[in-house]
Chain A
Amino acid sequence: MTARNTTRTTRTTNRTMKQTTMHRSLLATAAGLLLLAACGSTSTSSKVDSTTTRPATTVVETTAAPETSAAAVTTVSVAPTSAAAAPAAPVTVDASVDQALKDADALLGANDQDMASASSAAANGG
């Protein structure tokens, strides 16, 4: 009886060990797949970045889609040809131009007075 019981216990223990080993293998496989999936995702992003042509204009920057799909690459490439449809960035004119215009306005304003005086004086004689 005792020997039979011992054999049965040993079989049960072996079965339990086999199940544990299987579980460990499954876990390892799953982890490996997750790691591969993660690597694959990173690899795809890198590929998009390296193949994306980034135009220098701000128009493209504001209309570009997230760079994580093939559709995004297409949008960025097309954007420059349709730039007229998007608002252009305002241009800052040299500040000295504004000052020059103010000075010129003042000079021409003074001229109006002198030219009117010259006309009337010449007409009056004396």
Chain B
Amino acid sequence: MMRSTIEVLNPGLATSIQDAGRWGYQSSGVPVSGAVDEFAFRLANLLVGNQPEDAAIEFMILGPTLKFKGPTFIAITGGTCQAQLDGQVLQLNRAYQVKAGSVLHFKPITAGRFGYLAVKGGILIPLILHSRATTSRIQLGGLAGRNLQVGDCLPIAVFYCLSSLAQRQLMVAPRPAVKKVVLHFVKGPQWQLFSAQAQQIFTEAAFTVSQQADRMGYRLAGPALPVPAKNMLSEGTVTGNVQITRSGQPIVLLADRQTAGGYPVIGTVCLADLEQLIQAQNGQQFCFQAISVAAATQRLHEKYDDLQKLTTKISATRYQLPIGPQQVAGQRIAELFD
């Protein structure tokens, strides 16, 4: 495989290399990390024909400026933002061919918080504990355990062709703006520890995302919940856990969460709804609504159904022309028909 690199001309904000997470080591206290918005990350990889666990670039609010030293294919997903490849405006959720020497540039995200850039073949940095995910607070994984900086060179592979290029896009209908976004959650494990009054506030009040929102978790702003008097012993944490702090504020745990925590967990936001919280607009109101585990599972499958359909569509059209090096022409033809 021929190798090439991406040069970081401007790192953007909190830009890091992430994958599907460093699973299997939480018993040693190693956080999972990986992409915060799993759906957007998986979609990006799927669009460029990657494995679900291949490493991509995650950024927060402002994407990086990157120079591609070799030809490849890219896809951008996540928060709404304008990306330009040598001045050409790129759509989200769609695969594009990149020529050697091309420069990719982002304008800030206008709706959402996290964006993803997948490159065909993934970012080929070495694995640590079977993962390339960055946990910057403990300098683990990624590129030297940190967020990207000016001058970094990210190893990638050279690709001239990608099958079904014209099919590699997902139309995502924009969500209608609503006053309150409902986050469905599964109760517990400590739901019963909370008073009826606390449970009522949690399920009836409106919350917004506070300033303290990062890859570890989002602290929510809203009315304080009465906190159980009893202290609890630390136990394992899970993505989407809603911890209630001593001051009664909810924190929703995300990718970089600590492996164990001692705050009671009133509920766990179902994975299908987590994306809406992760990509929350400032000031957007959220409310919590309890559902069964089975219903949460059902929602998750419905959400990922789009990815399954896209996989099938790409696979079904993989032998349609144009394939191979003519794809530059193919992409132009595809654009004419847009």
Co-assembled chains A and B: no
